[in-house]
Chain A
């Protein structure tokens, strides 16, 4: 490790880390927020399931670098605007989470939902008070996959000049220096572990009713 490089670039590295966090978190949160109603819809109307899951699957097919470059042409943003990265990642997250939400809701025991219906819960109340809480473990397990993938995908944007931890890779490559690259990789992995554990902890907090043995599942990265 080249400590001189490291110490002289500390504030830049911090800047990149913060940018990386925003570029990862905003799409993850927005993607999840959009996936909840869409996933519920796909679950309620079985005929839509194939359409919604299939269409979102097609978005997943498009390689991320190509997606970053193509978006401006479709939505009229500037080609190097970070907003392209945010939108592309939001779509990826949405594509992954729609299916997870629909499948998670489908896994809620039918008797539980019927009991709520028989007790007089309205459709929206059933969703927010019964189905969603019970589906939390499945949904958050999916979100852990999404967030960890997003952290890695964001780095690709360095190629088109969007500043985040990936910029350390391009910087290191052009300088022929290993230190920035390794620093970038380590920080990416660190963020991944921290966010993964945060969601895991959230999942356990939201589901105190699950048996401890089930809740003590390992992190995605463990």
Chain B
């Protein structure tokens, strides 16, 4: 029996990207999940506080949301929008006053006079020529 194809020319099923297919709930290998209620505002407030506690400022935190490889925050950006994210960051900063203070220590310069001269190492290829009689696979 020949299989129907989109072009109708051959015996092969059309190649479809798996993620383009519709979900089939009765397929045991398909991912299924139940919606779990939750509040994105609680998530964004908690995360902004965590970074604020580490001394990050509003711009630094906002930049994190644009990184698609940090999907938790990126998902929030998609759900709430740029303005929504900014408003919430500002709200956390305004409410908590933000635990952020900084001490700067100016280091003394390196002591060049007493540094030992670095040892010069010559990097070169070893002699890879192998003697035929020493190796059974010598060519």
| Binding between chains A and B | no
Interface residues of B (CB under 8 A from A): none
